[in-house]
Amino acid sequence: MASIINQEIPEFSAEAFVNGEFKTITSEDVKGSWAIFLFYPADFTFVCPTELEDMAAHYEELKGLGVEVYSVSTDTHFTHKAWHDSSEAIGKVTYPMIGDPTGRITRGFNVMIEEAGLAERGTFLVDPDGLIQVAEIHAGGIGRSAKDMLRKVKAAQYVRENDGEVCPAAWEAGQETLKPSLDLVGKI
């Protein structure tokens, strides 16, 4: 499989359910700011609402960092509204819930389970240029952590703003970074 890191997000135009309204969202709308694409298998399931609720709990902090969150499944925007209206967990979601019934966006991010017509649990962090900086895919039974994604957002933003520096494993904002050089070879 070819790497998707530093690849541009696919072009798309899709309907989303956002704060009680339907809205068209395009790939062009995404560019210019940071974005998280949170793909999940299906509405009205089990692990999915826990993940979307977890992301909703961190949404204000992400917005404060200039990040928009887009959840995406192959359900329609109508189904997203029905789920939002009937689930206490999903009722907390205020970020856009994109419907991808044709699978175009899901395939564009290479997370389509073709035989099921559903998305894998894929998480992608996209920079303001529309380039993918983080790509993770989890098995269906393994839920993701918005808190860990928040840490990765801060690391990606730091690296973008501080040319020549890199963030080591488990780096948290405020901790020391590394400046790759010949002097560090074999000393870490």
| pLDDT tens by residue, 81-131 | 999 999 999 999 999 999 999 999 999 999 999 999 999 999 999 999 999
Helix (H) / strand (E) containing 55? helix 47-64
In CATH, which superfamily holds the domain spanning 7-184? Glutaredoxin (3.40.30.10)
* C-alpha distances in Å from residue 92, one per residue of 18, 57, 60, 118: 12, 8, 12, 23
Of the listed 4, 48, 118, 125, which one is catalytic? 48
The length of the chain is: 188
Residue 175, both tokens: 């901790």
Give the largest Cα separation in the chain, rounded: 58
Which residues partner with 67 through β-bridges?
Answer: 34
Model confidence over 126-163: pLDDT tens digits? 999 999 999 999 999 999 999 999 999 999 999 999 99
Residue 21 CA to residue 162 CA, distance in Å, equals 39
Active site residue 48: yes
Q: What is the pTM of this model?
A: 0.95
* C-alpha distances in Å from residue 81, one per residue of 14, 75, 90, 127, 188: 15, 10, 10, 28, 50
3-class secondary-structure state, position 168:
coil
